């Protein structure tokens, strides 16, 4: 399995995936810590991957998203963005809407 296949499998098999520096309990940079704080604040269950565990994953996730920085957040297979975008979306309420959109659709039918 290539790194791109691994990333694709992860983002499509899990509702929320965060590629980050370090782990949720021990983030290795302030930007990763910020995204973890936001997700924790919202009570979001997410899967994380420490890009420091593999240089291949570190480079692969950047190529996969065509986004140069880490952390990277994916929701339901779609790339959301890095720390700045996630923070702005959280502050505007857009992130909360994105995370609950699937549930709202399910309740309306």
Asked whether the beta carbons of 16 and 26 are under 8 A apart, the reply is: no
Mean pLDDT of the chain: 92
7: helix, strand or coil: helix
Nearest to 18 by CA among 77, 97, 93, 73: 73
Q: Please give the pLDDT value at position 102.
A: 57
Residues near 65 by Cβ (< 8 Å), separated by ≥ 6? 72, 79
Check whether 100 has a pLDDT greater than 80.
yes
How high is the pLDDT of residue 104? 43
pLDDT of residue 24: 97
Record the tokens describing residue 39, joined without a space.
């997700």
Residue-wise pLDDT for 24-69, tens only, equals: 999 999 999 999 999 999 999 999 999 999 999 999 999 999 999 9
């Amino acid at each position: 399995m290539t790194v791109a296949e691994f990333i694709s499998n992860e983002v499509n098999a899990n509702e929320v995936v965060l590629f980050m520096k370090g782990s949720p309990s021990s983030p290795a940079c302030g930007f990763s810590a910020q995204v973890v704080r936001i997700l924790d604040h919202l009570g979001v269950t997410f899967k994380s991957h420490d890009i420091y565990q593999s240089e291949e994953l570190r480079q692969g996730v950047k190529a996969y998203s065509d986004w140069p920085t880490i952390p990277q957040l994916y929701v339901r297979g779609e790339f959301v963005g890095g720390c700045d975008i996630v923070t702005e979306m959280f502050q505007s309420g857009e992130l909360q809407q994105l995370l609950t959109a699937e549930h709202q659709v399910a309740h309306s039918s």
